[in-house]
Amino acid sequence: MSFRHYLCSVAILALVLAPFGFVAHAEDLDCDNAQTQLDMTQCAAREYEAADKALNAQYASVRQRYSGNEDARTLLRDAQRAWIGFRDAHCDLETLAVRGGSIEPMIRAQCLQKLTEERTEQLAALAECEEGDLSCV
């Protein structure tokens, strides 16, 4: 089951159980003291979503930096697409040992978050690098 499918399942479960008081509202979720696997998974998903938003903002910044250079924008797009494939495949490998278990979505979200934060740093370095600065290579 993919992480997105799992999140959809969690959302459906939340809708079904909410009228019975079994599911806390998202704003009530205390990620510093998460106790259940569902809460820990939701917290991990929330952290990954925040990392993904930061990545998208940084990607847009780099695209803007290359606004006058279509070759660079094409290479950036291609690199990002390749990175997404790598990220997903790496997280598939990293979660192999827990595949099918209740912990898998949390471990996947943590993997996605870590790699996404690393990629955001890489893109930030590109955005800040001046043309001709060999220390950025």
Q: Rounded mean pLDDT of the chain?
A: 84
Architecture label for domain 35-127: Up-down Bundle (1.20)
Give the model's confidence band at 99: pLDDT under 50 very low, under 70 low, under 90 confident, else very high.
very high
Which tokens in the block code for residue 23? Answer: 């599911």
Buried b (16+ CB within 10 A) or exposed e, 76-101: beeebeebeeebbeebeebbeeeeee
- Are 113 and 47 in contact by the 8 Å Cβ rule? The answer is yes
pLDDT at 9: 46
User: Model confidence over 25-56: pLDDT tens digits?
Assistant: 556 788 888 889 999 999 999 999 999 999 99
Residue 59's closest CA among 81, 87, 44? 81
Which tokens in the block code for residue 57? Answer: 């903002």
Query: What's 71-120 look like in SS3?
Result: HHHHHHHHHHHHHHHHHHHHHHHHCHHHCCCCCHHHHHHHHHHHHHHHHH
Q: With 70 as the cut, is the pLDDT of residue 58 above it?
A: yes
Domain boundaries, the chain: 35-127
